[in-house]
Amino acid sequence: MFEIDLAKIRKYDKPGPRYTSYPTAPQFNENFKHENYFDEIVKTNYGADLPDLSLYFHLPYCDTLCYFCGCNMIITRNRDRVKEYQSYLKKEMDMIRSYLNVDRKVAQLHWGGGTPTHLNPDEISNLASYIKESFNFQEDSENSCEIDPRGLTKAHLEALRYNGFNRISMGVQDFNEKVQKAVNRIQPEDITRQAVDWIRDLKFHSFNLDLIYGLPFQTVDSFADTVDRIIDISPDRIAVFNYAHVPWMKKHMGLIHPEDIPLPEEKLQILKMTVEKLTAAGYVFIGLDHFSKPDDELAVAFKEKKLYRNFQGYSTNAGADLYAMGITGISQLQHIYSQNYKTEKEYYKALDDETLPVVKGYKLNDDDILRRYVIMKIMCDFEIDIISIEQKFNIDFNKYFEWGLNNMKEMESDNLVNITKEKISVHDIGRLLIRNIAMNFDGYIERKEDIARYSRTV
């Protein structure tokens, strides 16, 4: 069982990046144009031993507004609008496909949103079959989709399964009715369980359930009841996210009354209870906010130090080039990040003009590449092999990261990390504070160039 020292958590709880990328998104800039993205695509599609492909499709539409949502979504019930968007997804797909080496295979496919199951079953099949015809998939590719059980039918899941999807992720957030009303997401437990029964009947390989702590009216006791029910449902993976109240970024979060949100001390108690309950029930704490059953691929990758991290969170497909399609999609190739336009109008116009729909991005320099490698190692392996990094990048690690290592002396004395001449290892309690540890290797924070407003780390 994983036990938490709240005093240490309290001490280090402060705003910081989630490090789904490095440099982080605030460093992306509009000087990066579609030509820069195109150049990198061409460069990364020649030569031997090309990395696998990871495809992400952003399907932004939802029926109703969840007040807590931090995703890029659009509330609509206009089916013509949804169909038009799919036609432009195919345009972008055709453009990207035309630049790719035909021998490259897709190892991972993910549909996110929004609500991908806002599409009806026929639309799901139409888009999925177009993707399958357009790209060369590995036989064992991981194909996942986010679903919303509200309005879901078994036919939605049958369409996904028939078209090769083998993993499902579903939001629950909290089963408590008072909490659900406060965040405008009424999702009775029975429809969640019905969706899970269908997922199991259709023999999806695994499914994940998302929870959020820090929502209005949550208490330790009320959320403990939700966690107990989740354990009873027995998903393969569980993600437990910290609600970040950022109404200056997401206006609709202003519909949540700040006075109804649990105080920081209560939030920490909720987190402590959740982690201890899930680990006592046999789930492996991967780090940050992910849990999985011991035989799940995520836990196996964690044990074998093969985890990877990208804009979808923790993954088992390290090193793949990520091509993200749809509005706001962020692609990650070897030396660049490229983000699509955020509005349908701009996205459509770029594709009509036969240009990649790039609004901004970033080209990494040598320092970025080194620091990304170190930060992803600490985020995924929870250790850094100092000697191998010195050899790989031809640096003196202690000199290069002097600022961060000095900052970490206090973390070492608090038993979050262990630092030797050869290695930095993260202790169990440090995995909850991994964002804080990673910040010590962030050059933009060191140089005070990162002035973005982030959510708190716990």
DSSP per-residue codes, 229-276: HHHHH--SEEEEEEP---TTT-GGGGGS-GGGSPPHHHHHHHHHHHHH
pLDDT 10s digit of each residue in the chain, 458 long? 677 788 888 888 888 888 989 999 999 999 999 999 999 999 999 888 899 999 999 999 999 999 999 889 999 999 999 999 999 999 999 999 999 999 999 999 999 999 999 999 999 999 999 999 999 999 999 999 999 999 999 999 999 999 999 999 999 999 999 999 999 999 999 999 999 999 999 999 999 999 999 999 999 999 999 999 999 999 999 999 999 898 988 999 999 999 999 998 899 999 999 999 999 999 999 877 899 999 999 899 888 888 888 777 787 777 899 999 999 999 999 999 999 999 999 999 999 999 999 999 999 999 999 999 999 999 999 999 999 999 999 999 999 999 999 999 999 999 999 999 999 999 988 988 999 999 999 999 999 987 777 777 77
Task: For strands 237-242 and 290-292, give the pairing.
Answer: antiparallel
Asked whether 209 and 229 are in contact (CB, 8 A), the reply is no
341 in any annotated domain = no
152 φ, ψ (degrees, to nearest 5) = -75, 140
49 and 100 within one domain: yes
291 and 163 within one domain: yes
User: CB under 8 Å, gap of 24 or more: what pairs does 422-427 form?
Assistant: 422/385, 422/386, 422/387, 423/383, 423/384, 423/385, 423/386, 424/378, 424/383, 424/384, 424/386, 425/382, 425/383, 426/378, 426/382, 426/383
Residue 182 φ/ψ region, left for φ over 0, alpha for ψ in the -120 to 50 degree band, beta for the rest: alpha
Q: Of 63, 58, 228, which is closest to residue 146 (Cα–Cα)? A: 58
186 and 126 within one domain: yes
Rounded distance between C-alpha atoms, residue 348 and residue 382, angstroms: 42
375 and 308 within one domain: no
270 and 313 within one domain: yes
Q: Of 9, 27, 11, which is closest to residue 371 (Cα–Cα)? A: 27
Q: Tokens 């009806």 identify what position?
A: 120
| Domain harbouring 380, CATH code | 1.10.10.920
268 and 202 within one domain: yes
Bridge partners of 325, per DSSP, are 57
Rounded distance between C-alpha atoms, residue 294 and residue 298, angstroms: 8
Q: What angle do CA 425, 434, 217 make, to 5 degrees?
A: 145
Domain boundary among 291, 324, 357: 324
Question: Range of 407's domain?
Answer: 1-21+366-458
344 in any annotated domain = no
Q: How many CB atoms lie within 10 A of CB 420?
A: 8
- When divided into structural domains, the chain yields a total of 2
Q: Helices in 290-343 by DSSP H: which ranges?
A: 297-303
Domain boundary among 266, 299, 324: 324
Asked whether 196 and 206 are in contact (CB, 8 A), the reply is no
258 and 314 within one domain: yes
Q: Collapsing DSSP states into helix, strand and coil, what is residue 290?
A: strand
7 and 109 within one domain: no
Task: For strands 336-340 and 358-363, give the pairing.
Answer: antiparallel
Burial tier of 373 (Cβ tally within 10 Å: 0-12, 13-18, 19+): middle
Predicted local confidence at residue 1, as pLDDT? 65
Q: Of 8, 23, 25, which is closest to residue 432 (Cα–Cα)? A: 8
| Domain harbouring 139, CATH code | 3.80.30.20
Token pair, residue 304, equals 């074998």
Asked whether 52 and 377 are in contact (CB, 8 A), the reply is no
User: Quick one: how far is CA 276 from the chain centroid?
Assistant: 23
Rounded distance between C-alpha atoms, residue 176 and residue 241, angstroms: 16
The three-state (H, E, C) secondary structure of 254-265, written as one string: HHCCHHHCCCHH
198 and 123 within one domain: yes
278 and 235 within one domain: yes
Rounded distance between C-alpha atoms, residue 142 and residue 107, angstroms: 6
209 and 65 within one domain: yes
141 φ, ψ (degrees, to nearest 5) = -60, 150
Amino acid at the residue 312: Q
234 and 373 within one domain: no
